[in-house]
Amino acid sequence: MTRLHAIEIGHGPTRLVFLHGVFGQGKNFGNVAKLLADQATSVLLDLPNHGRSPWTDRFDLDLFADLVAGELRARDTQAEPVTLIGHSMGGKVAMRLALRHPGLLNRLVVADMSPVARGDDGEFQHLVDSLLRIDLDRITTRKQADEALSADVHDAAVRAFLLQNLHRTPTGDGWRWLANLGLLQASIDKLVGWPPISGRWHGPVLWLRGANSLHVQPADEPIMRSYFPAVQLITIPDAGHWIHADQPQAVASAIAEFISRG
């Protein structure tokens, strides 16, 4: 079976599994996982086509959900279901996993994402195009890559997030992208989409949104409740789309309270 790359943080009794968003890696949740270390043992997965996990030949949210489900089964979560936490694209994967493999989790946390299709606003297209415009053959240092990217991406924090995908080749004489940028570039419509899916999952769901983000809209709530009737929506103040980076303490506190309810 296909195994996904994972790191583990913490020693608490509750089992958490984190799924990151597009261009991300499991380690992006490291600060939140450390804040929960006494309460939970957290597994931070690299999703397919990201980080050190294998690439796929197509972009398919249900395929990704099934691969994560396979990883959870390999970790014996059928005997002990987990709390599954997904941000952005990872939130979509987490929601579809709950609907397709309901017995693998006992709680669900969806961070700044809704089960709806959005028209491409150009954001993801711009970012992936900007990365692919960097001529890796001309790059000798990470600083040079940052300077090249700065022409298209002006926010230094966003550049740092994107450039975590830039790694040395195995031979050490060049650079490569960990993320499958070619597939992502060709799959923007699927990335912002939400394919039809049936079913409901009746377990407890914590739905987090960033106060400064537009990814969760009031019109999304009835759709969310149609899939997940037991959902609670919490807004994280002073946070944009990357709420775990903007407000890690607030996100960790919300998760801690959620998993402590028994």
Burial class (CB in 10 A: 0-12, 13-18, 19+), 151: exposed
The reported pLDDT for the residue numbered 10 is 97
The reported pLDDT for the residue numbered 121 is 66
Domain 6-118+194-259 has CATH 3.40.50.2300: no
CA distances from 45 to 17, 29, 31, 209, 246 (A): 7, 10, 14, 21, 20
- What pTM was estimated for this model as a whole? 0.95
The reported pLDDT for the residue numbered 171 is 85
Per-residue pLDDT 10s for the chain (262 aa) are 789 999 999 999 999 999 999 999 999 999 999 999 999 999 999 999 999 999 999 999 999 999 999 999 998 755 689 999 999 999 999 999 999 999 999 999 999 999 999 876 688 899 999 999 999 999 999 999 999 999 999 999 999 999 999 999 988 789 999 999 999 999 999 999 999 999 999 999 999 999 999 999 999 999 999 999 999 999 999 999 999 999 999 999 999 999 998 6
The reported pLDDT for the residue numbered 4 is 97
The reported pLDDT for the residue numbered 227 is 98
Structural contact between residues 27 and 52, judged by C-beta atoms closer than 8 angstroms? no
H-type alpha helices, the chain: 30-35, 61-74, 89-100, 123-132, 142-150, 156-163, 181-185, 188-191, 220-227, 243-246, 248-259
The reported pLDDT for the residue numbered 261 is 87
Structural contact between residues 40 and 66, judged by C-beta atoms closer than 8 angstroms? no
The reported pLDDT for the residue numbered 75 is 85
DSSP-derived secondary structure letter, 102: G
* Calpha distance 74→68 (Å, rounded): 10
Name, in order, each residue with C-beta under 8 angstroms of 105's C-beta and a sequence gap of 6 or more.
Answer: 72, 77, 81, 82, 83, 84, 97, 98, 203
CA distances from 250 to 72, 165, 235 (A): 27, 27, 10
Q: 28-31 long-range CB contacts below 8 Å, 24 or more apart?
A: 28/161, 28/244, 28/245, 29/85, 29/87, 29/244, 31/244, 31/245, 31/248, 31/252
